[in-house]
Structure 1
Amino acid sequence: MSEALFPVFEVPEIIPEGSEYDNRYKPSVKWDVEKGDFARDSAGRMVECDGKEAFMIWCFKTAQTERYAYLAYPDSIGVEMEAALEDDDEKTVESMVQRTITDALMVNPRTEFVRDFIFSWDGDEMHCSFHVKGIEWDKFFEIRL
């Protein structure tokens, strides 16, 4: 009867909060923007993409995800687009959209900058494009919403 009443296990090492974040771009599953689903090959398997493309996909999806709308995402992920679009003044809306997108993308430590916003209006419908540059990249890429 030397058996323990409760199971015994090793406690994992706790990583201190001050430790450096891993900034490497990791491969992931490719996203098909047109279909709004994961990209698949002819056999139906999900297609992988390199770390830089995965980061671009993350930026695009984050800029289209409303903050606090999905329980699966922490509060730090997403934009506050609904609140930004409530104002009647176009310049105010543009300023708020630029702020919320920039804030959302700068959460990722792999983001060096978000800038060069261009807005176009078609009645009440707003479209925008902007540039995002990842750290350690020579060039930026453009996102259109």
Structure 2
Amino acid sequence: MIDGFPFAGAPEDYNISEDVDLPVPVEAGIDFETGEVLLDESGQVKLVEGIEAIKVWCYLAIKTQRYAHQIFTEEYGSQHEELIGYEYTKELTETEAYRYINECLMKSPYVLGVKNLGVHRTGDKLNINIEIETSYGTDRLKGVA
């Protein structure tokens, strides 16, 4: 067997660059209140880019249950639905929901930080108000969980 398998050379020889130029993100526009795809005047899917595309990615990632769909990698989606059906305290539920959402969104190379402006459980509903810091600026997502 080769020494250092599966690596060749010494670790200091590896070129690992953290300054990767990411392409401008582009997504189909989403109405965040209804979850429906936005259409332009001609009935075609409206494309959004930059921070709006990142918000769409975040919205869809939060709405997707992690590990539930084989089409997505195991890294995509949120686990906050695991809190459903348990009688945790309101505070624990809200803290854990934010943690799950933060872990989910930080998978994107465009998301630099997630600030909790309010995650609240009302009955069986979880309402979130978060601020997303991205490489394109900062914006908010509300009520998407």
Q: What secondary structure sits across from 2:68 in the alignment?
A: coil
d(CA) in 2 for partners of 1:101, 1:17? 32
Q: In the alignment, is the contact (CA less than 8 A) between 1:27 and 1:50 conserved in 2?
A: yes
Name the % identity: 22
* CA-CA distance at 1:19 after TM superposition: 6.0
d(CA) in 2 for partners of 1:27, 1:126? 28
What one-letter code is carried by the residue in structure 1 that aligns with 2:63? Q
What one-letter code is carried by the residue in structure 2 that aligns with 1:119? V
Q: What secondary structure sits across from 2:141 in the alignment?
A: strand
Unaligned runs of 5+ in 1: 1-15
d(CA) in 1 for partners of 2:120, 2:109? 29
* CA-CA distance at 1:76 after TM superposition: 0.4
CA RMSD of aligned residues (A): 2.3
1:27: which partner in 2? 26
- Bigger Rg over Cα: 1
* CA-CA distance at 1:90 after TM superposition: 1.1
Q: What secondary structure sits across from 1:37 in the alignment?
A: coil
What one-letter code is carried by the residue in structure 2 that aligns with 1:129? N
Q: 1:112 to 1:48 in 2, by over 3 A?
A: same
Give the stretch that moved more between structures: 18-27 or 54-63.
18-27
Instruction: Give the total of aligned pairs.
Output: 128
1:6: which partner in 2? none
Question: For each residue in 1:81-140, what CA deviation from the matched residue of structure 2 results, as whole angstroms up to 9, or x when unmatched?
Answer: 121333421111111111110001001111110012313333333312111110252xx2
Q: In the alignment, is the contact (CA less than 8 A) between 1:27 and 1:51 conserved in 2?
A: yes
* CA-CA distance at 1:17 after TM superposition: 9.3
1:129: which partner in 2? 129
Unaligned runs of 5+ in 2: 1-13
d(CA) in 1 for partners of 2:113, 2:87? 26
Q: What secondary structure sits across from 2:66 in the alignment?
A: coil
Q: Which has the higher contact order (CA 8 A, sep 6+)?
A: 2
d(CA) in 1 for partners of 2:139, 2:49? 15
Q: In the alignment, is the contact (CA less than 8 A) between 1:28 and 1:48 conserved in 2?
A: yes
**TM-score normalised to the size of structure 1?**
0.75
What one-letter code is carried by the residue in structure 1 that aligns with 2:121? W
* CA-CA distance at 1:79 after TM superposition: 0.6
Q: What secondary structure sits across from 1:128 in the alignment?
A: strand
